[in-house]
Structure 1
Amino acid sequence: MKNLNICIDIDGTITDPYFWLSIANKYFNKNITIDKVTEYEIDKVMGVTREEYYEFYNKSKFEMHNDEVRLRENAREVIEELIQTDNIYFVTARDKDLEMLTYSYLNKNRIQYDEVFILGTHYKVNTAKKLKCDIFIEDSYSNALQLSENGFKVLLIDTNYNRKPLNENITRVFNWNEIYQIIREIPLHRKAI
């Protein structure tokens, strides 16, 4: 039996958090730089309506989530270590029609996992409950708040768009090596939650 149930978001958490920026800049004819990405919602960053964003996303989502999106440094190696002793569940808000692309991305990048949950919604609490999640690794501030307010411990991986006040169930982390150290410090004889 493995020790912990670790839930991990995909986009911005194991991948480059700004993977979408060049595609959005080209589509909207903008020149937004990474330092200006201080909101999670792409429509706010680009200064467009929600409807314009949805049109862009529906046209571009397969390009945005392709196999070439760069992994965050050491994400693969840390997950490879963790899966030896812990359950690894990817829980993503990606649309259901990105399922094949998601599995392709994880497999091409040799990311190991126990299961993948493609929710089609940002609401991850019910899935975390079902999986008896001990720790959730996330980049979205609103997702982190929602999870933490429902009793889950969250490691919020730092980005320009999530630098807001944290509560006692959220810990800001800056890289995957730090994530590994924090998880290794959780006593194995008890659950984190």
Structure 2
Amino acid sequence: MLRLGIDIDGTVTAQDTFVPYLNESFQCAITLDDMTEYDLTKLLKISNEEFWGWMDQHEPLIYKQAKPAEGAKVILDQMKHHHKLIYITARRQHHTDVTYTWFQENHVHYDDIELVGGHHKLEAVQKHKIDVFFEDHHGNATMIAKEADIPVILFNSPYNQMPIDDRIIRVNNWQEASQWIKQYEQRLQTAY
């Protein structure tokens, strides 16, 4: 049984979740393809303070209404029988209730959820003894792969196209992620 560490936003939820809210608030017409950096302030031509003011106002509704990524629920339902599913998210602590409610309303299994309140997930990864991590943020994936020395499955997106090292596995969807996990388990069993 592997202990799987799983990011939520852009990994379990659809990567374009924020797009309609951004377009409405900032009177623009961006798409996921326009989001070539994780930091959206340049794309929106706003300051960091303006962005976080907007996030403070809109995050609860966005998190509440987020759609699961295509295939995520089916694959996670299969994985829950063989692995521990531990969600480690950059969401801030005051979003705990909306986060748990989303998992319950969408019938997505979890063994644990930790809101770390920022992009430094390494401590939580180590605390939970994570074997493989699922992420969409390039910086997080790189740090976790290097510092925790574990494989990181990186969900392909326009905003994470920087080079990756050999501990990072780029996938396009949850089916590819599941296939990689099955092959990884087989390699581990063969090694013992």
Q: What's the TM-score bracket when you normalise by the shorter of the two chains?
A: over 0.9
Structure 1 position 31, deviation (Å): 2.0
Higher-helix-fraction structure: 2
For the pair 1:160 / 2:154, whether they are aligned, the reply is: no
Question: What are the within-5 Å matches in structure 2 for residues 96-135 of structure 1?
Answer: 96-135=93-132
Partners of 1:26 and 1:160 lie apart in 2 by 21
Judged with a 3 Å threshold, the aligned counterparts in structure 2 of structure 1 residues 158 and 189 are, in CA distance, closer, same or farther, namely closer
8 A contact 1:32–1:46 mirrored in 2: no
- Pick from 59, 62, 80: which aligns with 1:61? 59
Structure 1 position 164, deviation (Å): 1.3
Letter in structure 1 aligned against 2:25: Y
For the pair 1:47 / 2:45, whether they are aligned, the reply is: yes
Q: Paired residues, what number? A: 189
- Pick from 71, 74, 86: which aligns with 2:71? 74
Judged with a 3 Å threshold, the aligned counterparts in structure 2 of structure 1 residues 49 and 185 are, in CA distance, closer, same or farther, namely same
Deviation sequence 1:114-163 (CA, Å, 0-9, x none): 10101111100011111111100000011111111111210000111111
8 A contact 2:15–2:32 mirrored in 1: no
Structure 2 residue runs of 5 or longer lacking an equivalent are none
8 A contact 1:144–1:156 mirrored in 2: yes
Partners of 2:170 and 2:10 lie apart in 1 by 14
Secondary structure of 1:180's aligned partner: helix
For normalisation by structure 2, the TM-score amounts to 0.93
Secondary structure of 2:154's aligned partner: strand
Letter in structure 1 aligned against 2:116: L
- Pick from 170, 173, 188: which aligns with 1:172? 170
Partners of 2:123 and 2:43 lie apart in 1 by 29
- Matched with 1:136 is 133
For normalisation by structure 1, the TM-score amounts to 0.93
**Greater shift after overlay, 142-151 or 43-52?**
43-52
Structure 1 position 44, deviation (Å): 2.6
Structure 1 position 188, deviation (Å): 5.8
Structure 1 residue runs of 5 or longer lacking an equivalent are none
Partners of 1:91 and 1:176 lie apart in 2 by 17
Letter in structure 2 aligned against 1:21: V
Structure 1 position 74, deviation (Å): 1.2
Partners of 2:27 and 2:185 lie apart in 1 by 50
**Greater shift after overlay, 34-43 or 162-171?**
34-43
- Matched with 1:20 is 18
For the pair 1:88 / 2:77, whether they are aligned, the reply is: no
Partners of 1:133 and 1:149 lie apart in 2 by 14
